[in-house]
Amino acid sequence: MVTRLSLEQKIHGSSPCRAIFTLAFEFLLPYTPPHLLSANFGVASVVKMSKACIKTKMKKILLIIAAIIFLNAPALWCEDASLVMLVNQERRLANDFVPDLVKVGRSDVLLSPDVAEAYVTMRKALQEAAGAHNLRLISGYRSFAHQEEIFFARVEYHMFQGLSPADAFEKTAKYIALPGTSEHQTGLAVDVSDESIGNKIALSFADTFSGRWLAENSWRYGFILRYPKDKKEITRINFEPWHFRYVGIAPARIMRENNWSLEEYYDKICLYDNISGD
């Protein structure tokens, strides 16, 4: 029969060092992202540190630092909710959600300030790798009203073609995001193309140098390929090789290392419901 000791019993008589470790382990484990459990500075490291910790005071300090890292880990990657906010068919933005915006370079495309800066840095790196400037920023921020306009213009078009209003709506919703469900309203998403395909938004972008380079390297600049081929079941959006979403460098790296979509990242890492509006 297994007797469960109370926390008090567990730390009774322990050295201060051991007590700190026990408390850290008890309280932090349930909040530890799964990938950290297998990562080098996860539980294993803390256990190792705690053993050495009992022997020397120096290691005690290391243990406390490790515990602080542990404590901050989940919040660290989700604390800036505006960067990892999940927007999809289930999680809609409010009609009046408008982020801070700046123009990107000399274009009229608007993005959130951090995203605009990261995009320009990424474009320069791509330009150096390609030896030419072929990437084109086609679209960035789109307001709720603009998305509404695009959506209903297409519904009208299908009705004009002879579909009933319900069918026209359903057909449109298959390939145009409903107002409030478009990531473009966050100011964190870009659609890009390449001169070699006439700056069109097309699947063939995936086969251009820019498309391949971005799929491979965009995470280094904090962007993710938001709707990859192998995640269609989860994102419920078809493969879009032209659509990149800024999430910040640390989250982008974690998603890349674990092959997670933003939905998966959100479920596994973000413990709090941070989105504004519904």
What residues line the site for Zn ion (CB under 5 A)?
191, 243
Closest CA to 84 of 274, 278, 277: 274
The residue annotated as part of the active site, out of 8, 148, 233, 240, is 240
Q: Are 263 and 86 in contact (CB under 8 A)?
A: yes
User: Which residue lies nearer to Zn ion by CB, 50 or 182?
Assistant: 182
Classified as helix, coil or strand, 111 is: strand
What's the closest the beta carbon of residue 184 comes to Zn ion, in angstroms? 6
What's the closest the beta carbon of residue 78 comes to Zn ion, in angstroms? 23
Closest CA to 109 of 206, 193, 224: 193
Distance separating alpha carbons of residues 124 and 194, to the nearest angstrom: 14
Strands 189-194 and 110-111: unpaired
148 tagged catalytic: no
Distance separating alpha carbons of residues 213 and 115, to the nearest angstrom: 18
Question: How many whole angstroms from its chain centre is CA 24?
Answer: 28
Tokens of 262: 């933003």
CA angle 258/190/116 to nearest 5° reads 100
Name the residue with the smallest CB distance to Zn ion.
Answer: 243
User: Which residue lies nearer to Zn ion by CB, 32 or 193?
Assistant: 193
What's the closest the beta carbon of residue 230 comes to Zn ion, in angstroms? 19
What's the closest the beta carbon of residue 272 comes to Zn ion, in angstroms? 26
User: Which residue lies nearer to Zn ion by CB, 18 or 226?
Assistant: 226
What's the closest the beta carbon of residue 141 comes to Zn ion, in angstroms? 11
User: Which residue lies nearer to Zn ion by CB, 77 or 119?
Assistant: 119
Point out which residues pair with 194 in neighbouring strands: 135
User: Which residue lies nearer to Zn ion by CB, 168 or 237?
Assistant: 237
Q: Judge residue 159's burial from the number of C-beta atoms within 10 Å of its C-beta, 0-12 exposed, 13-18 middle, 19 or more buried.
A: middle
Catalytic positions are: 240
